[in-house]
Amino acid sequence: MLGLLLCDHVPENLQHLGGDYPDMFRKLFPETSMRVYPVCEGVFPKSVDECDAYLVTGSRRSVYEEEDWILQLKKFVRQIHEANKYYIGICFGHQMLAEALGGKVQKSEKGWCVGVHEFEIVEKTDWMQAPKKQLNLLMMCQDQVQVLPEGSILLAKTPQCPVGMFVVGNKMLGIQAHPEFSKAYDKILMEQRVARIGEEKVKDGLASLALETDELVFASWVRGLCGI
């Protein structure tokens, strides 16, 4: 059983593009049994043993904010680590893994990463079946991991994001990308956030959507890691 720790919702006026985040992850992992916990609304597992693995989603919030549910999530991630459970962190969840275990997250000096980015694999693992030298994945972030927690291994980077993917031990994985996003959803987010992201970055991001993406390869790697 995969526990989906939901840290945000897709705005209702955009859910026609692919549903809410649980729908996106069910499409990415169609054969995986999931239990959804809307932690952004204060709903957490009663015990870390309720699920075999946990996936922490993206969020419009930042992991260093002092919101009650964010502070509680940090504690729960530490419990996952102590219990030696599997963990997959996506964007905010990637940053949460770093922050909860002693790393550091802040806004990148390089600004936003949007559209398709090439993740260069710098360290290979045995669960990376059909190994590739790089993955093209969608991004939508401003915060980035600046300092990795102790015991981490960097797995991938991009020119705009030095900590693109990392593991802690052999069961906890974080990736800055959004493999669950569709290009249509990433596109409309860029178009709605031009004032925040900047016209030039949005222009480049929209053009990058012509590239093929490798979310299914990443999904296969996650299955190889934790068997979901």
By C-alpha distance, which of 92, 85, 99 is closest to 175?
A: 92
Is 50 catalytic? The answer is no
The rounded percent of the chain whose pLDDT value lies above 90 is: 97
Is 109 catalytic? The answer is no
The band of 131, judged by pLDDT with boundaries at 50, 70 and 90, is confident
Higher pLDDT, 131 or 115: 115
Does position 130 have pLDDT exceeding 90, yes or no? Answer: no
Tokens of 145: 């991991």
- Secondary structure in 3-state letters for 92-123: HHHHHHHHHCCCEEEECCCCCEEEEEEEEECC
pLDDT tens column, 150-200: 999 999 999 999 999 999 999 999 999 999 999 999 999 999 999 999 999
Which of 40, 178, 215, 226 is catalytic? The answer is 178
pLDDT tens column, 25-48: 999 999 999 999 999 999 999 999
Which of 91, 113, 161, 226 is catalytic? The answer is 91
Strand partners for 4: 36, 55
* Cα(197)–Cα(168) distance, integer angstroms: 31
- The residue extents of the domains of the chain are 2-226
16-22, long-range: CB within 8 Å, 24+ apart, which pairs? 17/182, 17/184, 17/185, 17/188, 18/182, 18/184, 18/185, 21/57, 21/58, 21/180
Cross-sheet strand order for the sheet of 161-168 = 34-37, 2-5, 53-56, 86-90, 172-175, 161-168, 152-158, 113-121, 134-141
Burial of residue 30 (CB within 10 Å: 0-12, 13-18, 19+) is exposed
Instruction: Tell me the CATH number for domain 2-226.
Output: 3.40.50.880
Is 81 catalytic? The answer is no
The band of 134, judged by pLDDT with boundaries at 50, 70 and 90, is very high
Which of 94, 113, 161, 180 is catalytic? The answer is 180
